[in-house]
Structure formats: structure tokens, C-alpha cells
């Protein structure tokens, strides 16, 4: 009797042990299934497919990509060279595509950017980082950017305007000089003609005076005063013919 009771007790112990073992196995299996299901339901991070590698400091930075969930919120992170990190949000469309454009210019330097997907209150793991550089392609004046191309164009236009102004100045003064020169030549010619007529008249008068003295010499001996007067007339005639008329003749080629 005691032997049968002992056998039953051992049998019950074994059954209880098998039950505990089965329950433990079922618990482990359930935990594994739950963990696997949790892994399968983790949100995939958004992919960055559009970002400029080199951008000028006068250009607006942008980034875009695709997400696994349409109509979801995409959080974009931007980290500067000094380590400061900014975040912005965008929303994916019905195809899961998303795009973000920054609202201001970025300073020169190397940047990093990545994105996360937010569905409800759950966040995906951070997506892969992308790097890009903002290069100095414009002159920065406060919050304004003036591209070097625009600066060169402005300088070229300013130089062109200066050349046009200089050409206009030279043309105006050249034309004014030419008009004045033509007027001066005209006045010189008129003065030359008047001087020539006056000298011709003077030469004729001197010749007549000399001829008159010659007639007197034929009739009588000239006085000392008349001799001096005749010599002076001859000298004046020589001065008029050989010097004054020659100087007037030399003016014509000089003003031509």
C-alpha cells in the first residue's frame, strides 16, 4: 500500500514538473513571437535621396527623399560645423515622397543632415547621415548676398558707363574745340586778308612816295632830309615785302 502511494506521488511530481516545463516553454515561445512581431512593426527610417553636395552661400539649401509611410511627418535634422543641431518638419505625400526647403541662407561650412519618421507618437530610428558643404560664391553684406557674378557684372556695367561718360566728354570737348578752331581759322583768314590788303596799300603808298622822290631827284639835288626820308621809305618797303608779307603767308599753312 505504501509502495503504491509512493509511486503515485512520484507520478504526480513528474506530471507537475512536465506542466511547469511546458508552461515555461510556451512563455518563452510567446515572448519570442512578441519580440519578432515588435521587430517587424518597427518603423523604417526615411531615406534621403535628394540633397546638394556643394551649394553656394547665395543659394537656398533643400533636402528630399522617400518614406515607408505615406502622409506621415518627417523630422529633418541639420547639424553645423560647430555642432549646433536644428530640426525642421515636412510631410510625405501619398507616395511617401517628402521635400523640404530652408527658409534662409546658410553660412559657409560643412553640414550634416539626417531624418526621422514620426507615425502617431512613435519615432523611427534616425536615417543615414548625408554631408554637404556651403561654399562662398557670394559677397555677404549683413543678411544680403551678392553673387560674384552679379558683382562682376555690376563692375563691368560701371566701367562701361564710365567709358561712355569719358567718350562723351572727349567727343563734346573735341567737337567744341573743332568748332572754336574753325571759327578761329575763319577769323585769322579774315584778319590775314585785311592785313594783306593793308600791307598792299602801304607798299603801294611807299612805292608812290619813292617814285615821287625819284622825280624830284631828276629835277634837283635832294636835301639831306629828303635823302633820309627816301632811305626810310626804301627800308619800310623792304620790311613790308620781305618780312611782313612773308609772315602772313606762313600763317596759312599753320591753320590749314
| Residue 7 forms part of a structural domain | no
Confidence of residue 253 (pLDDT cuts 50, 70, 90): low
Same-domain pairing of 249 and 169: yes
Residue 99: is its pLDDT beyond 80? yes
Residue 147: is its pLDDT beyond 80? no
Domain boundary among 107, 136, 165: 136
Mean pLDDT, range 199-204, rounded to an integer: 75
Give whichever of 67-76, 202-211, 246-255 has the largest mean pLDDT. 67-76
In the chain, how many domains are there?
Answer: 2
Residue 236: is its pLDDT beyond 90? no
What is the Cα–Cα distance from 73 to 68, expressed in whole angstroms?
11
What is the Cα–Cα distance from 255 to 248, expressed in whole angstroms?
11
Same-domain pairing of 166 and 245: yes
| Residue 16 forms part of a structural domain | no
| Cβ neighbours of residue 51 closer than 8 Å, sequence gap 6 or more | 62, 63, 64, 113, 130, 132
Looking at residue 65, which CATH number applies to its domain?
A: 2.60.40.10
Same-domain pairing of 245 and 160: yes
What is the Cα–Cα distance from 76 to 64, expressed in whole angstroms?
10
| Residue 4 forms part of a structural domain | no
| Residue 181 forms part of a structural domain | yes
* Structural domain harbouring 209: 153-255
Residue 219: is its pLDDT beyond 60? yes
Q: What share of the chain is helix, strand, coil (3-state, %, to 5)?
A: 55, 25, 20
Greater confidence (63 vs 218) lies with 63
| Residue 109 forms part of a structural domain | yes
Domain boundary among 136, 163, 195: 136
| Residue 92 forms part of a structural domain | yes
Domain boundary among 109, 136, 163: 136
β-pair type (54-56, 130-135): parallel
Mean pLDDT, range 12-22, rounded to an integer: 57
Grouping H, G, I as helix, E, B as strand and the rest as coil, residue 37 is helix
pLDDT digits (tens, 9 = 90+) for 29-81: 444 444 443 444 578 999 999 999 888 888 899 999 999 999 999 999 999 97
Q: How many residues does the chain have?
A: 256
Residue 125: is its pLDDT beyond 80? yes
Contact 82, 73 (CB under 8 A): no
> Is the pTM here over 0.95, yes or no?
no
Kind plus residue range of the DSSP H or E element containing 184? helix 148-219
Same-domain pairing of 111 and 177: no
Same-domain pairing of 132 and 163: no
Same-domain pairing of 163 and 241: yes
| Residue 19 forms part of a structural domain | no
**For the chain, what is the mean pLDDT?**
78
| Residue 227 forms part of a structural domain | yes
Same-domain pairing of 234 and 176: yes
The CA-based angle 63-66-71, given to 5 degrees, is 105
Same-domain pairing of 73 and 164: no
Greater confidence (9 vs 116) lies with 116
Phi, psi dihedral angles at 102 (to 5 degrees)? -70, 150
Contact 63, 50 (CB under 8 A): yes
Amino acid at each position: 500500500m505504501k509502495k503504491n502511494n509512493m509511486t503515485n506521488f512520484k507520478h504526480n511530481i513528474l506530471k507537475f514538473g512536465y506542466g511547469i516545463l511546458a508552461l515555461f516553454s510556451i512563455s518563452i515561445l510567446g515572448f519570442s513571437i512578441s519580440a519578432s512581431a515588435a521587430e517587424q512593426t518597427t518603423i523604417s527610417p526615411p531615406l534621403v535621396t535628394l540633397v546638394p553636395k556643394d551649394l553656394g552661400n547665395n543659394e537656398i539649401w533643400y533636402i528630399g527623399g522617400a518614406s515607408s509611410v505615406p502622409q506621415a511627418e518627417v523630422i529633418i535634422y541639420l547639424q553645423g560645423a560647430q555642432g549646433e543641431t536644428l530640426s525642421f518638419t515636412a510631410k510625405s505625400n501619398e507616395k511617401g515622397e517628402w521635400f523640404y526647403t530652408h527658409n534662409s541662407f546658410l553660412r559657409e561650412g560643412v553640414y550634416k543632415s539626417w531624418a526621422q519618421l514620426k507615425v502617431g507618437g512613435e519615432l523611427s530610428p534616425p536615417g543615414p547621415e548625408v554631408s554637404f558643404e556651403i561654399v562662398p560664391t557670394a559677397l555677404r553684406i549683413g543678411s544680403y548676398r551678392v553673387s560674384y557674378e552679379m558683382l562682376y557684372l555690376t563692375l563691368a556695367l560701371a566701367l562701361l558707363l564710365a567709358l561712355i561718360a569719358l567718350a562723351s566728354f572727349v567727343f563734346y570737348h573735341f567737337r567744341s574745340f573743332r568748332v572754336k578752331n574753325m571759327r578761329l581759322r575763319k577769323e585769322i583768314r579774315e584778319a590775314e586778308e585785311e592785313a594783306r590788303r593793308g600791307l598792299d596799300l602801304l607798299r603801294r603808298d611807299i612805292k608812290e612816295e619813292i617814285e615821287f622822290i625819284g622825280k624830284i631827284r631828276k629835277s634837283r639835288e635832294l636835301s639831306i632830309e629828303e635823302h633820309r626820308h627816301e632811305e626810310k621809305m626804301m627800308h619800310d618797303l623792304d620790311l613790308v615785302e620781305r618780312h611782313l608779307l612773308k609772315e602772313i603767308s606762313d600763317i596759312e599753312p599753320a591753320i590749314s
